[in-house]
Amino acid sequence: MAISLGSGDEEHGVMADINTTPLVDIMLVLLIIFLITIPVILKEPAKITVPTATNIPTQTKPENITVYVDKEGNVYWGDLKVPNMTALVLQVEKEAVKVPQPEIHIRGDKDTDYENIGKVIAAINRGGLVKVGFITFPEPPNTANMKLSAF
């Protein structure tokens, strides 16, 4: 913003008005930039249908295998600790030859890193099993509504 203080002519006195023309020019340029960029930002790259989550109770079958991942990243095949991912792949390969293939249920600690779960999924994939599920506890009812009402 600029202030015009006159040209040294004492006759007209000091002009103390703020010149708002540069401010209006900048605001109009910003408005045009926003009008051009907002449709680009909001544009979806592809038309997709997002699935809705449903909680299906787990049917425990004797042939199902449960793999546990604790917060330190240790992996357990049932009650036995798996020393490394190679051993996990070997265990999965033994189960993959069964007909029908058993399901593997992964129970990950809520404080574990995603990397630990990703390694387990990669090992199961290399071992050849197809049916993999994640075991979680369902949210208590009306928790989602309580979160939305806070906004």
**If the chain, 151 residues long, is cut into consecutive pieces of 10 residues, what is the mean pLDDT of each piece?**
55 74 92 85 65 63 84 91 94 90 89 91 92 78 50 37
* DSSP 8-state assignment for residue 136: -
Q: Can you give the pLDDT at residue 148? A: 44
Q: Can you give the pLDDT at residue 151? A: 37
Rounded CA-CA distance 68/106 in Å is 6
In 3D space, the residue among 95, 94, 87, 96 whose CA is nearest the CA of residue 120 turns out to be 87
- Are 38 and 77 in the same domain? no
Asked if residue 29 is part of any domain, the answer here is: yes
Q: 3: which residues sit within 8 A by CB, 6+ positions away?
A: 16, 17, 18, 19
- Are 107 and 76 in the same domain? yes
Q: Can you give the pLDDT at residue 57? A: 64
- Are 69 and 37 in the same domain? no
Asked if residue 146 is part of any domain, the answer here is: no
Q: Can you give the pLDDT at residue 149? A: 41
Q: Is residue 82 exposed (0-12), middle (13-18) or buried (19+ Cβ within 10 Å)?
A: buried
Residue 117 belongs to domain with CATH number: 3.30.420.270
- Are 70 and 119 in the same domain? yes
- Are 35 and 82 in the same domain? no
Tokens 């593997």 sit on residue? 104
- Are 28 and 75 in the same domain? no
Rounded CA-CA distance 132/120 in Å is 11
- Are 70 and 36 in the same domain? no
Count of domains for the chain: 2
- Are 127 and 87 in the same domain? yes
Contact 74, 81 (CB under 8 A): yes
- Are 74 and 120 in the same domain? yes
- Can you give the residue range of the structural domain that contains 96? 65-134
- Are 25 and 73 in the same domain? no
Asked if residue 149 is part of any domain, the answer here is: no
- In order of 16, 31, 34, 72, 139, the CA distances from 20 in angstroms are 12, 16, 21, 61, 56
Q: Can you give the pLDDT at residue 36? A: 86
- Are 120 and 74 in the same domain? yes
